[in-house]
A and B are shown apart, each in its own frame.
Chain A
């Protein structure tokens, strides 16, 4: 292909050619990073929770006024909820995934350590793992005699049960490469807790501590009455019916109480990650808009060039160039310009990624995203130039003999 004559014409349209190159470079930088951002968000939305999401519903009920009989009422509630047909398991748990507010504790690895190693979230209640459907990968669940009363522990931290179950991610963070079973952690120096079990995943209810800490979770054998939420496990198809039945049963026990929350865990997840989905949608919108503008810009400039070169095209045709030659000339020209733009764009994309890393705690743009931007832009460029190039190819040779 005759690249040299094309390069020679660039010299005559230096500014215009440079402008397109710049536009394509900026587009390439934005598209590469935006696609990467979208993939991050999409990945985040699918973060594993470690619980049987499709089978769980949450019902949160709050009593009005001071309730000295909270414990007995809690037992009544649980009995009523268990009696609902289709309910496989019920637990009152201090917190549930995707609620955006979490109980956290500092974790120390020795009684004399001054700085906490990290902070992890804390799940407690009776039957937590069984109801949530969280899978133990090592060790065992709590025995019934290991449970302590939360209220007692608040008054005297020494009564904290000496056993704890943690997630695999937390185990690997605390003791890389070692087995966590039998290791000791401390919430405070006086109360060593031995790891007796490890679960695969159990997500933190709030991710405000960063996504890296999303699986830093502990489960402790504490009972409590008043507060928390009821988690009910059932078949996916029964969830709506179970929610209604649970609310009716709880209201029947005391019509004055307030139902604060009633939803499936699927809905809770959808709501929890709504901002990420909105951001991904916005990024997609920007990608489409920037490609549209760039594509239309190429159409506009290519049309201008074709109109400007009608005479030259006519002369070339008169001298024996075929329509295909003219078509390919404009296509090659566009390919060259877009390629220059992409080369510059990759540098810009990398720079933009460095800036995002510095300001928004983003990971580095993987190299694999650069070819995506390149291919998209080549395609857009070729699609945009096709119309003007066909018009150029249609210029009859007779134009050469006419003056303008």
Chain B
């Protein structure tokens, strides 16, 4: 019976090609625009570390003086050197890493390559196991090497490809800002998006090429980049004592009990520092996991959300348009429907048949919409935005496209089909 309905629907759609084309075009445009923006939104609000992000937390404490104090305000988004070092040394979490961003000039030994700048991350040993970074060659550095300000570096696979042609470069030398570092590890393909662990340096598509122990980077006076937020007028020449927050601390807490105990540790630490006179404000701590931190930081650009709403509004216009056209189309066939009804077709059968027709329009519109979405995503990728490269359709969004298209056109078909099968056959036949 279903196959017969499909046959009927195709015949009916062929009978009025212009109207069918109009409906398919409207659905395709609406679906294409919606899928383009939804795909971008989906890519941007994704989980950077699936499976691990729920155990990674970003502690925030408030070390500022009373200037500008407002009860209930948010603590700073980063930590100072003293607090970062204290919390790191306390080792109250399963793993913890202190880090900040920077840029270092790399001086290749090859004569044909000019020196160039790369983004760098200065961090501590737990960074690699905690974020579960893949290694192509070699290993991460150890806590002992952190302690010893070892002249070591882990590099990205793309830098390894550029400098060493992708070969195993363990033990080779990386000359960075006139200092020789020993390469001990080469990362595999690791590009978490958003760049969750430091949102102050671009939020998407920002991945470091060189990783150096934090202690080493300070020892060598490597250039810092990122946000520095200072509160009192103390000297700011030495960043290790300056009243400024400029580092990020991440901790791994596997169980709710660990979370609870870490949170109370942060409060306890704040109280202790206040007792020592370093902190002045009442304890004010936050402990957000990765997704909560991204959400709090409004990492998805407002323009992207606005575009999504706009596209959904457009889809609604397209749907209203399709409802109108389908109604016209179905009512035009009143005579045919009446004959079928008079010959004994149940109202339900007619209804089903008309919905099959609506579904076929949706399928065709979905295919058209998919093509338009590919064009739309290609256009997005041509934009200069840092997230542009992430705009690709994945299998899940492909499925969503068809569900949305067919669902939308079935919805659009409901009212016209219901109206059409309510036609009184006798009246219609008599009128003809």
Contact = CB atoms under 8 A, between A and B. Distances in A.
Contacts of B67: 114-116
A4 interface: no
A19 B416 CA distance: 11
Interface string B20-35: 0010011001100100
Interface stretch (B180-188, B273-281, B300-308): B300-308
Given A156-B235, A258-B117, A307-B332, A297 B325 contact: yes
Given A15-B419, A278-B385, A360-B306, A116 B68 contact: yes
A275 B327 contact: no
A292 B67 CA distance: 57
Contacts of A296: 22, 25-26, 321
Contact of A360 (B114, B117, B302, B432): B302
B313 A256 contact: no
Contact of A15 (B25, B26, B316, B327): B327
Given A23-B324, A258-B116, A275-B384, A308 B332 contact: yes
6 contacts: A16-B327, A23-B320, A66-B178, A258-B117, A297-B26, A307-B332
B415 interface: yes
B66 A114 contact: yes
Nearest to B328: A304
Interface of A: 15-16, 19-20, 22-23, 26-27, 29-30, 34, 62, 64-66, 106, 114-116, 151, 154-157, 188-191, 256, 258, 260, 271, 274-275, 278-279, 282-283, 286, 289-290, 292-294, 296-297, 299-301, 303-304, 307-308, 356, 360, 404
A151 B177 CA distance: 22
Contacts of B48: none
Given A15-B415, A22-B320, A62-B117, A30 B310 contact: yes
Interface in B229-260: 232-233, 235-237
Given A26-B316, A289-B314, A294 B68 contact: no
B19 interface: yes
Interface string B397-432: 000000000000000000100010000000000001
Interface string B325-336: 101110010000
Contacts of A282: 307
B248 to A, nearest CB: 18
Contact of A26 (B114, B317, B415): B317
A19 B320 contact: yes
B303 A279 contact: yes
Contacts of A290: 314, 317
Interface residues of B, number: 52
Contacts of B18: 300, 303
Contacts of A66: 178, 221
A191 to B, nearest CB: 8
Nearest to B382: A278
B108 interface: no
Contacts of B221: 66
B324 A301 contact: yes
B233 A157 contact: yes
Contact of A154 (B115, B235, B318, B329): B235
Contacts of A293: 25-26, 29-30, 314, 317-318, 321
Nearest to A108: B67
Contact of B332 (A22, A30, A304): A304
A320 B329 CA distance: 31
Instruction: Kindly name the residue among B26, B320, B327 whose own CB sees the greatest number of chain A CB atoms within 10 A.
Output: B320
Contacts of B233: 157, 188-191
Instruction: Kindly name the residue among A155, A190, A279, A286 whose own CB sees the greatest number of chain B CB atoms within 10 A.
Output: A286
B311 interface: yes
Contact of B324 (A19, A34, A283, A308): A19
Contact of B105 (A19, A64, A300): A64
B152 interface: no
B217 to A, nearest CB: 14
B44 interface: no
B223 to A, nearest CB: 8
Contact of B317 (A30, A116, A303): A30
A27 B315 CA distance: 11
A99 to B, nearest CB: 13
B303 A65 contact: no
A297 B385 contact: no
B177 A64 contact: yes
Contacts of B384: 271, 274-275, 278
B323 interface: yes
Nearest to A260: B117
B383 interface: yes
B100 interface: no
Nearest to A151: B237
A20 B322 CA distance: 10
B156 interface: no
B104 to A, nearest CB: 9
Please name the 7 residue pairs, one residue from A and one from B, whose CB atoms are nearest each other, closest first.
A65-B178, A188-B233, A304-B328, A297-B321, A19-B324, A23-B320, A157-B233
Given A155-B235, A275-B385, A64 B332 contact: no
A286 B178 contact: no
A345 B22 CA distance: 23
B270 interface: no
B115 A256 contact: yes
A306 to B, nearest CB: 11
B107 interface: yes
Contact of B432 (A27, A188, A404): A404
A36 to B, nearest CB: 13
B328 A16 contact: yes
A189 B66 CA distance: 14
Given A19-B324, A66-B221, A275-B384, A115 B310 contact: no
A77 B105 CA distance: 20
Contacts of A404: 432
A278 B320 CA distance: 28
Contacts of A294: 317, 321
A30 B321 contact: no
